[in-house]
Homo-oligomer: A and B are copies of this chain.
Amino acid sequence: MPLITYRKALNDALAEELLRDENVVLLGEEVAEYNGAYKVTEGLWARFGSKRVVDTPISEAGFVGMAVGASMLGIRPVVELMFWSFSYVTFDQIINNAGCVRYMSGGQIACPIVIRGPANGGTNVGATHSHTPENFLANTPGLKVVCPATAYDAKGLMKAAIRDNDPVMFMENTLLYGEQWEVPEEEYLIPIGVADVKREGTDISLIAHGRAVLTCLKAAEILQAQHGISAEVVDLRSIRPLDEETLLASVRKTHRAVLVEENKPFCGVDAQIASLIQEKAFDELDAPIQRISALDAPAIYSPPLEKLQLPTPDRVVQKALSIC
């Protein structure tokens, strides 16, 4: 299988879906002529033209709302937020219009929209540009939320998201765009709501989403090599719907769990996962579930400090050792 970047995987997914369905349209700031601030849409404007790949002004509430409205008539907009941090200027359109219109219309209206872009810290862009709102969005019944950790997952999930009839919030990571993974040439889709065991293990479950999955894989190597501990790494992939079965099965096997995320801790995704595990696998737990999240302050700018603010393999190892 060819090695391609996470960025290219997304780009391929978008191109394939643009080709497949003429109702798919990409919208966002700098997505067309500029090829995307992070080049995820590179070449698509040249290939598909100004009708299918559309630059917008800096009006997130306006163009997200516009895309929601268009989706009600059967258009399938894929809207880029240059950063998910900017979702806060269009939060109302996402939560109330995309998230509630189906319900409030008694099921008469569907909203097949994808909103995508990077949601991560770690690139020294400061507090306002480093938000990770997957927990806010997944709190909202009516929205789906996916956070792919690899190029393979990014491609398969993006194609599924575009074909999905519900609004899908698709969270990428600028630190992953340049990373490579094996991705098959043949078409494939990954259903939303299915977690992936990225590494099998028997002693402890490391449960994560997004880039934290890679942090866990590194930690698992260290745990194996230096401590003889066999860690299983579960990648949630999709936050809502959530594949409870897979993560509970892992915990039932290992009886210990460390949850790792780049989200802030208070009411982060892993608060929910911890709450779930302790409720549904209480008697299986040999130790309290441990969590590692971003250090609980606004994202600091200072480059070396910011690295410490996000979960590191070392912190995961230490936490794992504390309960093994």
Partner pick for A131 among B95, B271, B279, B290, CB 8 A cutoff: B95
Say whether A240 faces chain B, with CB atoms less than 8 Å apart.
yes
Shortest CB distance A319–B (Å): 11
Partner pick for A267 among B269, B280, B296, CB 8 A cutoff: B269
Q: Cβ of A288 and Cβ of B298 under 8 Å apart?
A: no
Partner pick for A274 among B127, B142, B274, CB 8 A cutoff: B274
Chain B residue at minimum C-beta to C-beta distance from A280: B288
Bound complex: CA of A31 vs CA of B85, how far in Å?
31
Contacts of A86 on B, CB cut-off 8 Å? 92
- CB within 8 Å of B: which of A52-80? 61
Q: Cβ of A288 and Cβ of B279 under 8 Å apart?
A: yes
Q: Cβ of B141 and Cβ of A103 under 8 Å apart?
A: no
Partner pick for A282 among B100, B128, B272, B287, CB 8 A cutoff: B287
- CB within 8 Å of B: which of A124-171? 126-128, 131, 135-136, 138-142
Question: Given contacts A267-B268, A278-B289, A279-B291, are A92 and B88 in contact (CB under 8 A)?
Answer: yes
Bound complex: CA of A92 vs CA of B89, how far in Å?
5
Partner pick for A266 among B138, B264, B291, CB 8 A cutoff: B138
Q: Cβ of A141 and Cβ of B267 under 8 Å apart?
A: no
Contacts of A240 on B, CB cut-off 8 Å? 266
Contacts of A274 on B, CB cut-off 8 Å? 271, 274-275, 278-279
Question: Given contacts A91-B91, A92-B89, A96-B128, are A267 and B264 in contact (CB under 8 A)?
Answer: no
Partner pick for A88 among B95, B264, B267, CB 8 A cutoff: B95
Partner pick for A138 among B139, B267, B272, B288, CB 8 A cutoff: B267
Q: Cβ of B275 and Cβ of A279 under 8 Å apart?
A: no
Shortest CB distance A242–B (Å): 8
Shortest CB distance A81–B (Å): 12
Say whether A1 faces chain B, with CB atoms less than 8 Å apart.
no
Say whether A99 faces chain B, with CB atoms less than 8 Å apart.
yes
A105-140 CB mask vs B (1 if < 8 Å, else 0) is: 000000000000000000000111001000110111
Q: Cβ of A126 and Cβ of B104 under 8 Å apart?
A: yes
Say whether A42 faces chain B, with CB atoms less than 8 Å apart.
no
Bound complex: CA of A275 vs CA of B99, how far in Å?
27
13 more A-B residue pairs beyond the given contacts A96-B127, A104-B128, A282-B285, with a C-beta to C-beta distance below 8 A: A85-B96, A88-B95, A91-B91, A91-B92, A96-B128, A103-B127, A103-B300, A104-B301, A136-B267, A141-B264, A268-B272, A275-B289, A278-B289
10 nearest interchain CB pairs? A282-B288, A274-B275, A88-B92, A271-B271, A91-B91, A103-B298, A278-B278, A100-B127, A88-B91, A135-B267
Interface residues of A (CB under 8 A from B): 61, 85-86, 88-89, 91-92, 95-96, 99-100, 103-104, 126-128, 131, 135-136, 138-142, 240, 264-272, 274-275, 278-280, 282, 285, 287-291, 296-298, 300-301
10 A-B pairs (CB sep. < 8 Å): A91-B92, A96-B128, A103-B298, A104-B126, A136-B136, A138-B267, A139-B268, A278-B288, A280-B288, A282-B285
